[in-house]
Amino acid sequence: MPLALYALTAGAFGIGVTEFVIMGLLLEISRELNVSIAAAGLLISGYALGVTVGAPVLTALSAHWPRKRVLVGLMAIFVIGNAACALAPTYGWLMAARVLTALTHGTFFGVGAVVATGLVTDDRRASAVAVMFTGLTVATVLGVPFGTWLGQTHGWRATFWAVTLVGIAALAVLAALVPQDRAQPEAADWRADLRAIVRRPVLLGLLTTVLGYAGVFAVFTYIAPLLTEIGGFDASAVSPVLLVFGGGLVVGNLLGGRLADSNLVRAIFGTLAALALALAVMTFAFHSQVAAVIFTGLLGAAGFATVAPLQMWVLSKAEGAGQSLASSFNIGAFNLGNAIGAWAGGMVIDHGPGLALVPMAAALFPLLAIATALTAVRASRRPMASPSSNPVL
């Protein structure tokens, strides 16, 4: 694999750490900025909403720009955003900086995947994309636990300074190693792409993604207080337990891909059902430290096993050139689910039955996702509408 591909991996690693590491630092941030845990959790929602808006919009706006310039520019914004997080004097400042950083997320992965496939021969394109996304996996398995430990021992601002340095390094290697575009990209017809996306099976697929991931993040957002306040763990144990979650993520990713290759529809229903079951049982598992660790790993496995099937469903139902924009929209859908889940978990804590029952409430989301997926499957099996009919209906 060419060195330029590992430059993309470095960028993916930095972005992955920024997105997820704050979940292990909610207690520290809430104490220093004098806000509730639920308010600190909204920093995750703000980031997710930034990705949701930024992914399709920036992908469409930058479609005719040289891809190397797009990647370098996005990483520069990433560096500025994380430095602003580290310097944030108030909660509002930190929220604004998180949203700014989030704007780079979806487009970086979308454009980066296109660049990765252009760096290798046709028979190695899938492997090239997998290498780039390894950065995101490593960020969750190693970067997030390390960032959590760093924030707990040296203050949460130190974590954001460390991610800023990762961004600077990634910016340098991207500028040095990624080759210039061989030809100027053609301007995309975003109206035609939207027509391919605004069809019932695609929209229902996007909604399934939102609901499925809302369940994951309703719990994962508040994993630190769940472990310490319900499970009785010491704060220093949160980082090692997050490492178990990362291990589950890797297993789930591989398993979800294999299941999707075998039978896509069964994979969607099977992984969502497993996620609902894992969340429901976690309600009781947190009262045993051994069970809490096991089910934290199972949450990672079940949650990320849904990724490949949901992504493949949306891509399979989008048409032609609309697949690129559909991919960006689905990245946005995952993050919209993150935002809704973090908000819903906070509502359960502040206005509902409380922190202990967040996993049980979260299990409702994948159940709703299963109902939506069932509707999507039925819609996709109906005869195609006539050309004059409304593409949504």
Over range 338-360, report the average pLDDT.
87
Residue pair 305/176 in contact (Cβ under 8 Å)? The answer is no
pLDDT at site 389: 35
Query: Superfamily for 1-180?
Result: MFS general substrate transporter like domains (1.20.1250.20)
What is the CATH number that goes with domain 188-382? 1.20.1250.20
Give the CA distances from residue 56 to residues 63, 85, 106, 155, in Å, rounded to whole numbers and listed in that order: 10, 24, 8, 34
pLDDT at 230 over 50: yes
Q: Tell me the range of 83-92, 213-222, 326-335 where mean pLDDT is highest.
A: 83-92
Residue entry with tokens 């310097």:
87
Residue entry with tokens 């560096």:
79
Over range 1-23, report the average pLDDT.
83
Please give the torsion angle defined by the CA atoms of residues 295, 301, 307 and 309, in that order, rounded to the nearest 10 degrees. Answer: -110
Domain locations in the chain? 1-180, 188-382
Contacts of 346 (CB under 8 A, 6+ apart): 37, 38, 39, 41, 42, 221, 222
pLDDT at 387 over 80: no
Q: pLDDT > 90: what percent of the chain?
A: 22
Over range 35-42, report the average pLDDT.
85
Q: Report the candidate in 107, 8, 123 with the shortest Cα–Cα distance to residue 54.
A: 107
pLDDT at site 320: 54
pLDDT bracket for residue 93 (50, 70, 90) = very high
pLDDT bracket for residue 257 (50, 70, 90) = confident
CA quadruple 133, 243, 292, 347: dihedral sign: negative
pLDDT bracket for residue 284 (50, 70, 90) = very high
Over range 331-349, report the average pLDDT.
84
Rounded Cα distance between 2 and 71, Å, is 17
The dihedral region occupied by 320, where left means phi > 0, alpha psi between -120 and 50, and beta the remainder, is: left
338 or 96, which is more confident? 96
Give the CA distances from residue 327 to residues 120, 159, 309, in Å, rounded to whole numbers and listed in that order: 21, 30, 13
Is 33 strand, coil or helix? coil
Give residue 204's Cα distance to chain centre.
19
pLDDT digits 0-9 by tens, 203-220: 888 899 899 989 998 998
pLDDT at site 182: 61
Q: What sections of 306-321 are H helices per DSSP?
A: 307-317
pLDDT at site 92: 92
Does the fold of domain 188-382 match that of domain 1-180?
yes
Over range 185-190, report the average pLDDT.
56
pLDDT at site 390: 33
Lowest mean pLDDT among 69-73, 182-186, 315-319: 182-186
Give the CA distances from residue 374 to residues 274, 313, 370, in Å, rounded to whole numbers and listed in that order: 16, 12, 6
Over range 70-75, report the average pLDDT.
90
pLDDT at site 391: 33
Lowest mean pLDDT among 98-102, 139-143, 151-155, 381-385: 381-385
